[in-house]
Structures are given as structure tokens and as C-alpha cells.
Amino acid sequence: MHRLLLAAPFLALAAPAHAATGEAVNPWVALAYLVAGVFFILALRGLSSPSTSRTGNRFGIIGMLIAVVTTLVTHDIANIAEIGIAIFLGGIIGFTIARRIAMTAMPELVAGFHSLVGLAAVLVGWAAYLNPSAFGLNLTPDHQMMVGFLPMISPISKVEMGLGIAIGAITFSGSVIAFAKLSGRMSGSPILLPARHVINLGTLLAIVVLTGLFALAGPKETLPLIIALTVLAFFIGFLLIIPIGGADMPVVVSMLNSYSGWAAAAMGFTLGNTAMIITGALVGSSGAILSYIMCRAMNRSFISVIAGGFGADDGGGGSGEAKEQRPYKQGSAADAAFMLEQAEKVIIIPGYGMAVAQAQHALREMADLLEEKGVEVKYAIHPVAGRMPGHMNVLLAEASVPYENVFELEDINSEFAQADVAFIIGANDVVNPAAKTDKSSPIYGMPVFDVDKAKQVFFIKRSMGGVGYAGVDNEVFYMDQTMMLLSDAKKMVEEIVKALD
């Protein structure tokens, strides 16, 4: 769906001109856009399951191809050769990125895509403001009158334009911060500014006021207003994402996806482009629904995530270091291999540490060896594991893990009581019992895996020093049935594979 949204703002370059002239809409154009919308809906349906995601992507590509070709064929294009060159160059860049990007880098790639969508919305909005007649905007009755180089644009069109620019700018700057955090160019810890809530609310209120003034102002007064609106929107995008910690990044990615959709939809209304409205509304609404699902999975409100994320309270929050050193059991790869092959049922819980170590292929090899020995192996995926929605699913799919062996939290949590081994690789907060027992914990109330009910727990992590993004010590480390495997995740799993083979 991200490919669809990247292409959507391009449609505005050839937006219908009949919005201003009153010319009847070509019924074939409307039909083509409707067909494209149906393909977009089928794409979303396909993307709801890993087994149908490839088909969903194909439907999305077909739908956007129909929309783009329809716009190019049925509208006057200033220079079709230049547009063709731009499409070709963009296609080459996208193809190269898709071929080279590692699956572990997908979260920051998605954030980067969102930033491009937001920037495209801002640029299209400004282009429509500077040359509205070329975009078929709804001008005032005396639209022939020019004040300086700026024509008289109707208040409704200016409200739509202002909203599109504001949402696009917020999406761009927020996605840039998300990209920096996800790629390690910026610390994943919350960065808290003094009186940040007051600053954020004041900035958002100023954006609303500026949008209203922009809509009512005459042509001579609109330029400084739209400049101020754009600058403040870029500014609030940074402020909203900087305080959010790494534990909330899946929600942030989903939220930014929603923002980018609404930005495209707002521009679609401004330009009278049905395809943009449909595409933007689908992406915006699906992103909002996904954000709600992710928040519910963490038992958190959407507002609390935007307000600062895990461990983001002004007075505290976790430091990322264990609060105390307590006795724990440490084992070796040979110990783990021996107990794994004696087990009847093993449940694997992957987390971001697996992604960082790129251990998914070694993990799949270990699971294959266990299954050859008659061990039942299942994978348990928490909704917020990793750095974006479905991050662990994507990594396991890359390693060709069968879809039928991958289960969501609510589908497998009851099976830990019957499991011989809970194999935790790179996860932490999603298996922390403090979420159920400690009301003072920043993760209290978040549904977690009941790994403490398994007969044996293997916990792979680099060292006992770090305690996850939430900054909360984990009781699982010190349980009688837990064996800590302190090493790089990939190296440890490869050693277990050698011992099993």
C-alpha cells in the first residue's frame, strides 16, 4: 500500500480542470477511477494476511496503474515527455531500493516512504496555490482578476489546501525523525522538551488559526500565512515524534501511514481528483484502524502514545539498565540443544534483537532440525514486536517460515502451559510479567506472553545489562526454569544448530 500512496500525489500533476469551469466529468474517467478504487480495496484485503500479501500488492499495482494511465490519457499534460522521464527515473530508483534493501531495514524504509508522501503533498499544495488555474481549483466568480501574481482562490479550496499542506508537512518531518530513530541515527530513547505538551497544543492551535485566516484572507495576505502554516506544520511534526520511545515505534509507523493517507485525500478534494480521494481515504482509515489495534494490543490509549511513549514521563522512565543484579542461571548452546531435542513442544518468541542480529535464517534452520527430530515448533508473534506492524512476520517470511506455524498472541498464549520450552530470541518487554503484576511499571496493562508458565525458558540476549526499551527489569531472567544464553542472537542460534546437527 505504501507504493500506492507514493504514486497518489503524482496524480495531482494532471488533476481535472473541470472543477473550476463546471465542465461535466467524463463518465469513463469516473468509471476508471472507480475500478482503480476497487483494486485498492482488494489490495488492502490481500495485505491482511501474509499468505495473500503478494496478491494484494499486485492488486494495488494494477489499481494505481489504471489511475495514473487514466489521468495521463484523459487530461491535458503540459509536457508528457518530462512526466514520462520522471516516472522512469522514479521507477528505477524504487526498483533499486527494493532489490537492495535488507528485510531488517524495512521499518526505516517505510518511514522514509512516508516522508516522501508527506513532502509530495506539501509540494503539490504549494504548486496549486501558486498556479491554481492549472490544477482546476474552484476560483471565486471574479477568478480572472489577479492580485500581483496570485489569483482569487475560493475559501473552501484554501481550507482544503491548507489542511493538505499541514498534514503533509507533519507527515514529512515526523517520518524523518522516525527514520532516524529506526535506523539508529538517533537514540530510540524519548527526548523530552520542557513544557512540551503546552508547546505542542499551542502550535497545533496556531496551525488551525492560520488555516482559518488563510481561507478568509485576500490574495495579498495569503502568502505570509501559508508560509507560516507550512513552517509550523514542519515544526510540530518533529515535536510530536521526538518524545516517543522505541517501544511505541510500531504505533508511530502506523500513525504516520494514516497521516500520509489523509494528506493525499485532502489534496484530492482540493484538486477534484477522485483517485486521490479514494486512495488517501483508504490508506488514512486503514492506518488509523491499525494504530487503534496496536494501541489496544499494548493496552494504551492513542493519546498517551502521542504524548510521549513508554518511559517518557518527565520525572522518570527507565534508564535502559537493570535496576539490580540478582542470581541467574547461564547456559551454553550445547545445554540448550540437548534440552530442545528432548522437548515435545517448543514455542519461539522473536523480537527486535533477532532483527538486529539477522538471526531469522539460523532460527528457521534450528526449527527444521527440531521438527526432523519430532519436536513440534511454533512461533509466537506479539503485535508490537519489532519496529513496525508485522515486522517479525516479514522477517520470518523472508526465512521461509511456514505461515501456518506463526501465531498471534491471543491464539497461542494459552499453549505456554503445555510447552516444554519457551525460546525467547531478542524479545523483552513482550514477555515481561511486570505488565501483569506491577502497577507502577510503564508497561503495566500491556498483554504479554505467559512464558513463565512454560516448563523451561531459554532467553537469548547480549548481556544482563540492558532491559529493553521500556527500561524495566524482567523477572523472567531470574526464574528457576530460565536459562540465560548471553550472546549475539545469530551466533548463539548457529551454535545451537551445530550442536543439534
List, by residue number, the catalytic residues.
Answer: 429
* Dihedral sign of CA atoms 328, 333, 338, 340 in order: positive
Torsion of CA 420, 424, 429, 430, to 10 degrees: -60
CB count, 10 Å around CB of 149?
9
Label residues 379-417 b or e (16+ Cβ within 10 Å = b): bbbbbbbbbbbbbbbbbbbbbebeeeebeebeebbebbe
Q: Which amino acid is at 422?
A: A
Measured between alpha carbons, how far is 240 from 232 in angstroms, rounded to an integer? 12
Phi first, then psi, for residue 457 (nearest 5°) are -125, 125
User: Which of 480, 448, 489 lies closest to 326 in space, CA to CA?
Assistant: 480
Measured between alpha carbons, how far is 381 from 250 in angstroms, rounded to an integer? 13
Contact 216, 198 (CB under 8 A): no
**Cell numbers describing residue 429:** 518487554
**Cell numbers describing residue 433:** 510479567
Residues counted in the chain: 501
Contact 473, 429 (CB under 8 A): no
Measured between alpha carbons, how far is 421 from 436 in angstroms, rounded to an integer? 21
Measured between alpha carbons, how far is 121 from 384 in angstroms, rounded to an integer? 29
Greatest Cα pair distance, the chain, in angstroms, is 84
Torsion of CA 197, 241, 185, 382, to 10 degrees: 120
Quickly count helices (H) and strands (E) in the chain: 19, 8
Question: DSSP characters for 39-82?
Answer: HHHHHHHHTTSGGGHHHHHHHHHHHHHHHHHHHHHHS--S-HHH
Owner of C-alpha cell 495576505: 221
CA-based radius of gyration for the chain: 26
Measured between alpha carbons, how far is 189 from 241 in angstroms, rounded to an integer? 11
